[in-house]
Structure 1
């Protein structure tokens, strides 16, 4: 009889100690299966001759050869490079300028910060739909300017295959530059005021202070911002679908829309899986070195 209370006490302590693991375990198991399990499945399918339905017979890298022999894939890769480069550079430039402005403790800082952060609260579907209206030659900017008396004004980028990719950049920058601003502003507010006071005592101008002292200190923030924006750019799908639909033709195709088209419209599951695997490898090549450097800093 005396062992019963001690047994109950030990059981209670064990349960209390392992309760967080018990609560998290189902979610971890589901994530392991539905995320990493399907990643492994996609990688396996890319090595098979799968068409409209999965075929589990291994074929090697034939689907990757077909993928790189497809002209549309090169268009998607080129568009991704153009979009990602402009998106990251412009978003970071606007973000750092807005952050420096707000760091001057301007009036209505909270209101301004909210205005620039608000687009990030919208989904890319909403952003794409709104900008599709704004850039539509018959409804948006071109129509408005022509009604104002400038009848020769033309702004048809949305339907021009040579410029349509830049409409994606405009919409994406509008949505994400406020987020970049928030990251840079947090970094600026973390800079020690004593450093800025010492620079002012030495006679350094505001421009010299920011370019020579503050911005180098923010190097980790720059790296984090690049990683986050690059991740958003590589996965771009909903914005493309809502704004251009990958068109005109497939002039604004991206790897994500290419994968969707080949998987669900052309019924070439193996090629779609190969493109998805390459996208995953690209994201991994960006994120893993960043995580490694961050973990090394934490370990130090």
Structure 2
């Protein structure tokens, strides 16, 4: 019996048409400009700012590296220390009040009340405004000779006094009022979305067991919203650290430097006082503050997913 040896058949992949190759590369081509712009305009400028913070640059960038001299000058600058203190007061109060108020507003809307859509829109409306508009409006409202105090005096309440805007000890708290007014509605929307994502059977089971509504929210619902709490903390802290337009429009850092914040300090020293190196150092300190909040959160989230 003869055995006929045949060569093994080799299969070559069919050639891809031009349309198939275009469909494969088109998403990469479309996204490549965005990726390049992101790398250059965000991460590239971060590294550029970090490099400038190590130089003695003044009105123009200089490549005379001086190590951490700018950072030591920053720590000896009274205005910077004042702005850090103000940021601690403003940031903590803003985050606490905005989150607590947002939770209560979300719980209120979660009760299936009438006209929920209209009320939710009213709560969210301030987020449609820029911080410049918010700062200008609240500057008029809190101006002793123009706003709330004058209105109360015109109504006959001559003993009423609310001059925080021009009081160096209280000016920073007016920033808290304006920031909470603008951002609490957004925090409310975050928590409302979280509440609507909780299984209703859990709440019904707790009600059958005799738990009251406050106990249900405190013991069951709010612990389920821990990721929302983390997100709210990160977003509000980011808003607080980078606050510039609100301060500029409302108090301009005054009276004196009593309501100054790091973002305003950075702008003043980088663009008006010709101290680019010192301004870059302050910018890197602000970035460090944001990373100090963001990195532990990301670490905890990734750790939980792995476990």
1:236-247 alignment, distance < 5 Å: 236-247=243-254
Check 1:126–1:8 CA distance in 2 against 1; reply closer, same or farther (3 A cut): farther
Aligned-residue CA RMSD in angstroms? 1.5
1:142 aligned onto 2:149: yes
Residue 45 (str. 1) matches residue 52 (str. 2) = yes
Call closer, same or farther: CA 1:12–1:292 in 2, change over 3 Å.
farther
Counterparts of 1:222-233 in structure 2, within 5 Å, are 222-233=229-240
1:106 corresponds to 2:113: yes
Q: Does 1:210 align with 2:233?
A: no
More divergent stretch after superposition (11-20 vs 88-97): 11-20
> Residue 83 of structure 1 corresponds to which residue in structure 2?
90
SS of residue paired to 1:9: coil
Task: Look at both structures and tell me which one has the larger radius of gyration over its CA atoms.
Answer: 2
Which residue number in structure 1 is paired with residue 193 of structure 2? 186
Offset at 1:12?
3.0
Map of 2:179 onto structure 1: 172
1:69 aligned onto 2:69: no
Number of paired residues? 295
Which of 88, 92, 95 in structure 1 is aligned with 2:99?
Answer: 92
Q: Name the CA distance, whole Å, in 1 between partners of 2:50 and 2:66.
A: 12
Structure 2 residue corresponding to 1:19, chosen from 26, 29, 42: 26
TM-score (norm 2): 0.93
Structure-2 residue corresponding to 1:131: 138
Runs of 4+ in 1 over 6 A off after TM superposition: none
TM-score, normalising length from structure 1?
0.95
Q: Render the CA deviation track for 1:87-142: whole Å, top value 9, x for unaligned.
A: 01101111111111111000000000000000011110010010000000111000
Q: C-alpha displacement at 1:172, in angstroms?
A: 0.2
Cα distance in 2 between the residues matched to 1:228 and 1:299 = 25
Aligned to 1:278: 285
Whose helix proportion is higher, 1 or 2? 1
Greater Cα shift, 28-37 or 69-78 = 28-37
Work out the CA distance in 2 between the residues paired with 1:298 and 1:242: 43
- Deviation of the 1:282 alpha carbon: 1.1
Inter-partner Cα distance in structure 2 for 1:164 and 1:259: 20
Compute the displacement of 1:9 (Å).
3.5
Deviation at 1:11, TM superposition (A): 3.8
Q: 1:291 & 1:118 partners in 2: Cα distance? A: 31
Mapped to 1, the partners of 2:198 and 2:14 lie a distance apart of 55
CA change 1:116–1:248 in 2 (3 A) is: same
Runs of 5+ consecutive residues of structure 2 not aligned to the other structure: 1-12
Q: Which runs of 5+ in 1 are unaligned?
A: 1-5
Whole-Å separation in 1 of the counterparts to 2:211 and 2:58: 65
CA separation in 1, counterparts of 2:45 and 2:280?
A: 11
User: What does 1:262-277 correspond to in 2, within 5 Å?
Assistant: 262-277=269-284
Higher mean displacement: 166-175 or 11-20: 11-20
